[in-house]
Amino acid sequence: MVNKLQMEIKQSKKFESLEHEAFLNLQRTTDFLMRKVTDALKPFGITPPQYNVLRILRGAGESGLINREIGERMLTFVPDVTRMLDRLEKRDLVCRERGVEDRRLVTACITEEGLNLLSDLDQVFSDLNKELLGVCNKRTLTELIGTLERLRGA
Amino acid sequence: MVNKLQMEIKQSKKFESLEHEAFLNLQRTTDFLMRKVTDALKPFGITPPQYNVLRILRGAGESGLINREIGERMLTFVPDVTRMLDRLEKRDLVCRERGVEDRRLVTACITEEGLNLLSDLDQVFSDLNKELLGVCNKRTLTELIGTLERLRGA
DNA sequence: TGACATTTCCTGTTATAACAACTATTGTTG
DNA sequence: CAACAATAGTTGTTATAACAGGAAATGTCA
């Protein structure tokens, strides 16, 4: 009996351990799903991390957030928030302002144009999300979430 | 009640859907785990995709594999196998040879030095793997694997 | 055979990831 | 207050990701 992942990566030997098999499946599945999302966002000229930033800034509202806070809220670690915001600013999707009280801080806000783009992206993302993850029922997804949270440390 | 991921990304609003929450957890967990692996491999000057290539070539044995086959067996899609092998060849971890029968093909093999490095890496990776994924029991891991395979299409 | 398509790899280019060093500003402490 | 530490952001550099295009070899078929 050869399982699905073994077939996919044309591996003849068994996995070393269940832990190993689980981890490889995690990598491959996330890569698979992210690739779909990346493709779906591409017509809008937006990458998944950029989409993530825009959503974070929308959530923050008019008061905005400073670079460090944006980095902390990202789903995946991003080492260079500055240049990421540079690109978004150049496209007028966000605006930035140097702090007056503490001149080290730079606060970023989403623009009207950014909000408009987001409302399109949300629809695309939401549809894709339900299409991709909808193959599992609610109970399975709930269990999946629990397992994943556990893997990040309970 | 605010859940773990919401706290992590400092999100005040609920998730739009269970599918959404599951996907975000997948992203974050894989990023978290991959970062640990990347850190563990760093002292050896090897990235996770490079480690993946070396394992693939070891599995292929002395007959080696051509670029296309390596790409097909990678866990995550890699668009540029050529230059990835360039770097590994420069470090004498793999060697390459242009095909004689079909001169379009280039076959790569792992070197003795590559095999030696791999045996160190395997120990590190295996230990880390069990440490990270060992927080879940066998049954949970088996269910996780099943769910992930399903998400890639049954 | 000869034109054309296909396959395989390589090359060029831009964007992003990762990491380290640096500047400017603010906080802390003797 | 002056020296130092800490924080926030920027800049520089290298490696990798992503994508498009090109060159060489092989396959196909009229």
CB pair distance less than 8 Å for B152 and A23? no
* Distance in Å, alpha carbon of B95 to nearest chain A alpha carbon: 22
Q: How confident is the model over B125-141, as a mean pLDDT?
A: 94
Q: Which nucleotides in chain D lie less than 7 Å from some protein C-beta?
A: 7-12, 15-19, 24-27
- CB of B105 nearer than 7 A to strand C: yes
Query: Do B46 and B52 touch, CB atoms closer than 8 A?
Result: no
3-class DSSP assignment, residue B108:
strand
**pLDDT reported for residue A7:** 83
Q: Residue B95 CB: number of other CB atoms within 10 A?
A: 17
Record the pTM. 0.91
pLDDT confidence band for A154 (50 / 70 / 90): low
Give nearest nucleotide to B106 (CA–C1').
C9
Say which DSSP state A84 is in: H
Q: How confident is the model over A11-18, as a mean pLDDT?
A: 81
- Work out the percent of chain A whose per-residue pLDDT is above 70: 98
Q: How many interchain CB pairs under 8 A, A with B?
A: 176
Structure tokens at A123: 């629809």
- CB of A87 nearer than 7 A to strand C: yes
Q: Pick from A3, A26, A134: which is nearest to B19 by CB?
A: A134
CB pair distance less than 8 Å for B141 and A34? no
Give nearest nucleotide to B35 (CA–C1').
C18
Q: CA B23, CA B133: separation in Å to the nearest integer?
A: 19
Number of helices (H) and strands (E) in chain A: give both, helices first.
7, 3
For helices B138-151 and A18-41, the axis angle rounded to 10 degrees is 30
CB pair distance less than 8 Å for B135 and A152? no
**pLDDT reported for residue B119:** 93
pLDDT confidence band for B1 (50 / 70 / 90): low
* Distance in Å, alpha carbon of A96 to nearest chain B alpha carbon: 21
* Distance in Å, alpha carbon of A105 to nearest chain B alpha carbon: 20
Give nearest nucleotide to A31 (CA–C1').
D17
* Distance in Å, alpha carbon of A5 to nearest chain B alpha carbon: 8
**CB-CB neighbors (< 8 A) of A4 in chain B:** 149, 152
CA–chain centroid gap for A127, Å, is: 16
CB pair distance less than 8 Å for B133 and A30? no
CB pair distance less than 8 Å for B18 and A140? no
Write out pLDDT tens, residues A39-50: 999 999 999 999
Residue type, A138: K
Write out pLDDT tens, residues B52-76: 999 999 999 999 999 999 999 999 9
Q: Pick from B22, B144, B154: which is nearest to A22 by CB?
A: B144
Which residues contact residue B98 at a Cβ distance below 8 angstroms, ignoring those fewer than 6 apart? B105, B106
Q: Residue A66 CB: number of other CB atoms within 10 A?
A: 18
Q: How confident is the model over B24-32, as a mean pLDDT?
A: 94
φ/ψ of B101, rounded to 5, equals -75, -50
**pLDDT reported for residue A1:** 57
Comparing C-alpha atoms, which of B126, B125, B64 is closest to residue B98? B64
CB pair distance less than 8 Å for B147 and A138? no
Residue matched to tokens 């992590």: B8
Say which DSSP state B4 is in: H
- CB of A67 nearer than 7 A to strand D: yes
